[in-house]
Amino acid sequence: MTFENGVQLTVKEFDTLDLGNGKTVIKEFVWETQKGMTVHVISYGATITRIKLPDKQGKVKDIVLGYDNMDGYRSSTNPYFGATVGRVANRTGNAKFLLNCQVYNLSKNRGENHLHGGIKGFDKVNWKSYIDGTQVTFSYLSVDGEEGYPGDVITNLVYNIQKDNQIIITMTSKCSAPTPINLTNHSYFNLAGHDTGSKELYNHEFKVNASNYTPLNADLITTGEIKTVENTHFDLRSPKALLELVPSSTPGFDINYCLDVDKSKDLSFIARASHPESGRTLEMYGNQPGVQFYTANFLPEDKNVVIGKDNSSYLKHGAFCFEPQNFPNAVNYANFPNSVLYPGKEYLHKFVYKFGIN
């Protein structure tokens, strides 16, 4: 095996599809590091499908939920496993926004609301790909009017896998007309193994670097308020075991945290997760003001609904997501950080998954 700077990249065919213009090849990119991490990404949705890591005993497990084939990734029950989501991640209330005195109506794919880019968001397209050494850039042109958004938007995602088991993802966008942009990755993690379920997720410990959060209404739409985590169960400024916070009878976490950003640094500490028994840890760093912490509350309780890799049943509270982002529904609240990109400007979102062993 030949490594370049401690990393090897191979490319293969994951599947072929007819997306309406003939045979389309879905590519799979596989990185291996000298420290034992393997990362798989497919061109469909620029999706992370596998991350294999050794534990403190050297036993290797796949720690992200996903599917073995495209039938799974294109199924109606796929809850965005590992995907790039956009143009706008999270929920936009009433599927509309006002921009420059014009109302834009977006596609409705969660009741009366718009979620993760709509009916055919960035997660449901096959991205073009370009290789430079062991670095891969995925590119997609979202045209004016797609899912109701104004302007053409060209987006590039760079996957850069490091020999010390870091995954660095850089997302950039440029537009032809003012439009909201808020991209993220929607990987579902379970550091004990993708198939170990809520039993092991409850044993995870979590820390989120945030003193405030954005409350939600009954439809899970942000209200425009920003509240302190002090004296609430949202306070994860010091590590807490999920078992202390989310008994199986409660909904779990699905909330945006307003990060305590370190303005002296390009990337601020976002959050940390650890699984004491395996010793695996995940730290996140990024440059966005928020992160969605989600404990897979909407995965089903019926084991026959979502069948993933290795014929595994994925169930409620079987994984967690750290989704770095702008505040949800920011385009509709003047007090939230700006989410509108203008021609001549560049949207830049960079974040890091840093894996380790305790």
Contact 29, 167 (CB under 8 A): no
Task: Enter the tokens of residue 331.
Answer: 């385009």
- 153: three-class secondary structure by DSSP: strand
Residues 221 and 92: their CA atoms lie apart, in Å, by: 7
Nearest alpha carbon to residue 294 among 328, 330, 260: 328
Q: Which of 48-52, 144-148, 263-267, 290-294 has the lowest mean pLDDT?
A: 263-267
Domain 7-186: state its class. mainly beta
Q: Per-residue confidence at 253, pLDDT binned at 50, 70, 90?
A: very high
Nearest alpha carbon to residue 28 among 164, 155, 138: 138
Residue 110 has what DSSP assignment? B
Residues 153 and 143: their CA atoms lie apart, in Å, by: 6
Identify the active-site residue in 40, 114, 116, 186: 186
| pLDDT of res. 33 | 97
Every domain of the chain and the residues it spans: 7-186, 197-332
Residues 44 and 17: their CA atoms lie apart, in Å, by: 10
Largest CA distance in the chain: 60
> Beta strands 240-241 and 227-228: pairing type?
unpaired
Range 217-237 average pLDDT: 96
Residue 87: cis peptide before it, omega within 30 degrees of 0: yes
Q: Does the annotation count 323 as an active-site position?
A: yes
Identify the active-site residue in 28, 147, 200, 323: 323
Contact 285, 208 (CB under 8 A): no
Q: Is the pLDDT of residue 1 over 80?
A: no
Nearest alpha carbon to residue 89 among 152, 183, 155: 183
Residues 10 and 31: their CA atoms lie apart, in Å, by: 7
| pLDDT of res. 22 | 81
Could you tell me what percent of the chain has a pLDDT over 90? 94
Q: Per-residue confidence at 352, pLDDT binned at 50, 70, 90?
A: very high
Task: Enter the tokens of residue 155.
Answer: 């987006």
| pLDDT of res. 250 | 76
Q: Which residues contact 244 (CB under 8 A, 6 or more apart)?
A: none
Measured in residues, the chain has a length of: 358
Task: Enter the tokens of residue 259.
Answer: 């990060």
Whole-model pTM: value is: 0.97
Q: Which residues contact 300 (CB under 8 A, 6 or more apart)?
A: 306, 315, 316
Q: What is the pLDDT of residues 14-70, one digit of tens each?
A: 999 887 778 899 999 999 999 999 999 999 999 999 999 999 999 999 999 999 999
| pLDDT of res. 246 | 86
Q: What is the pLDDT of residues 286-320, one digit of tens each?
A: 999 999 999 999 999 999 899 999 999 999 999 99
Q: What is the pLDDT of residues 85-141, one digit of tens each?
A: 999 999 999 999 999 999 999 999 999 999 999 999 999 999 999 999 999 999 999
Do 7-186 and 197-332 come out as alike in CATH topology?
Answer: yes
Residues 104 and 98: their CA atoms lie apart, in Å, by: 6
Range 244-259 average pLDDT: 88
Q: Which residues contact 263 (CB under 8 A, 6 or more apart)?
A: none
| pLDDT of res. 248 | 66
CATH number of 197-332: 2.70.98.10
Helix, strand, coil % over all residues of the chain, rounded to 5: 10, 45, 45
Range 227-254 average pLDDT: 91
Residues 181 and 172: their CA atoms lie apart, in Å, by: 10
φ/ψ of residue 129, rounded to 5: -135, 145
The amino acid occupying position 177 is A
Q: What is the pLDDT of residues 329-349, one digit of tens each?
A: 999 999 999 999 999 999 999
Element (H, E) at 227: strand 227-228
| pLDDT of res. 82 | 98
Q: Does the annotation count 317 as an active-site position?
A: no
Element (H, E) at 200: helix 197-201
